[in-house]
Structure 1
Amino acid sequence: MEYTSIRKNFEKHGFSTQLFRTKEEARDYLVEILHNQTIGFGGSVTLLEMGLYEALQQNNAVVWHNKVPSRDVRRMAGCANIYITSANAVTEAGQIVNIDGTGNRVAMTSFGPQTCYYVVGRNKITPNLDEAVFRCRNVAAPQNARRINAKTPCAINGDKCYDCNSPGRICRITTVIDRAPMGMNCEIIFVDEALGF
């Protein structure tokens, strides 16, 4: 993967960027720069695979509903001054696309924290917006639905989005972030390996 132009495009859109070869290097970078912070985590298999929660918990207060499932924990994460998540897809042109079920993750990446970090594996990078949305709906969403045992056609079949009306549908809110939100520091941490869904 050639990251120079992708990073340049994100930087033109108001994001700062970092690039690491491995998830361990990216984890160590965040551990090194974050101390004595309140950190909220968005739902993310990427962060789980990195062991980032446990690593940051040593010197910070970290709030993550994956570890303590509840709406109250999601709300507490919403009050953090640092927010860390991943993306379902990013474009080479510098856009971030996410699909959410409850909206807590996409809300926090739009407004709230002083700083938002996205950890993005190379498998999440797409050539354009259409392919990013396709990836969100037909790659990330079915795997996430299956992971949480949703009773949806995509979870049962594990193959694609059926645009269902199931009560357990997790594709409820789709966001495209074209530029870093005003007043928020946003950093994209690219990792040159496949991470998450």
Structure 2
Amino acid sequence: MPCEKFIANLRRNRFQAVYFAAAAAAADYLASRVRGKTVGFGDSHTLLEMGLVERLRERNVVYDPTPLSGAEFKAAADRAMTADVFMLSVNAAAETGELVNIDSSGNRVAGSLWGHEKVYFVFSANKIEPTLEAAIFRARNTAAVINASRFGFKTPCAARGDRCYDCSSPDRICNTLVVYMKKEKSMDMEAVIVGEKLGY
């Protein structure tokens, strides 16, 4: 099985974990598992590429702040924080069984840490690094750089496109770094790993 060692280490860290070669199969799995729920989304290009917001709206009430701004963003993010289920991706993962996320506003990582029946981390296998140190490096120097450029932020990493400069720009995207070392005691957490390359 692909990612066998990684999945074993995730399970050792009390996360549930499944692997799908194709994004469509992963989307089918999630649609079959999440029905009749309120679902909150964290900003994720991976989930967007998979069409999960639209797919889950068919049988659930979905709160997705991603396309919104200002008061509308805050209202949707607040609802997402109290949803039955929360879905997001990760910026990186370590083969040793840890997940890593960086956040700018905090709603995405905050929503993943408390208050839901279940949290799903949906991400592609290309985000897996051999060690936690390498995963944090990837989150800061690959994922955050691409995201800062995607949003047009005025940061050195977006301007140069090569690495994190640990800047103090008001547009800085890496304000919060979260390492999920083990599953939270208060809720279920599942990693859904996809063989196809998705997101950043």
Counterpart of 1:78 in structure 2 is: 81
* 1:158 counterpart = 2:156: no
Task: Output aligned runs, 1:122-137, within 5 Å.
Answer: 122-137=125-140
Q: Which amino acid aligns with 2:114?
A: F
Name the count of aligned residue pairs: 197
Task: Output aligned runs, 1:168-179, within 5 Å.
Answer: 168-179=171-182
Which consecutive aligned stretches of 4+ in structure 1 deviate over 6 angstroms post-superposition? none
Counterpart secondary structure, 1:110: coil
In structure 1, what is the Cα distance between the partners aligned to 2:79 and 2:159? 32
Gaps of 5+ in 1: none
In structure 2, what is the Cα distance between the partners aligned to 1:170 and 1:113? 26
* 1:38 counterpart = 2:44: no
In structure 1, what is the Cα distance between the partners aligned to 2:141 and 2:67? 26
Counterpart secondary structure, 2:112: helix
* 1:116 counterpart = 2:119: yes
Asked if the contact 2:118–2:189 (Cα under 8 Å) also holds between the matched residues in 1, the reply is yes
Structure 1 residue 2 displacement after superposition: 3.5
Asked if the contact 2:3–2:125 (Cα under 8 Å) also holds between the matched residues in 1, the reply is no
In structure 1, what is the Cα distance between the partners aligned to 2:186 and 2:79? 21
Counterpart secondary structure, 1:146: helix
In structure 1, what is the Cα distance between the partners aligned to 2:123 and 2:139? 14
Question: Normalization by structure 1: what TM-score?
Answer: 0.97
Structure 1 residue 84 displacement after superposition: 0.5
Question: Normalization by structure 2: what TM-score?
Answer: 0.95
In structure 2, what is the Cα distance between the partners aligned to 1:50 and 1:2? 20
Gaps of 5+ in 2: none
Percent identical residues: 41
Counterpart of 1:20 in structure 2 is: 20
In structure 2, what is the Cα distance between the partners aligned to 1:178 and 1:89? 13
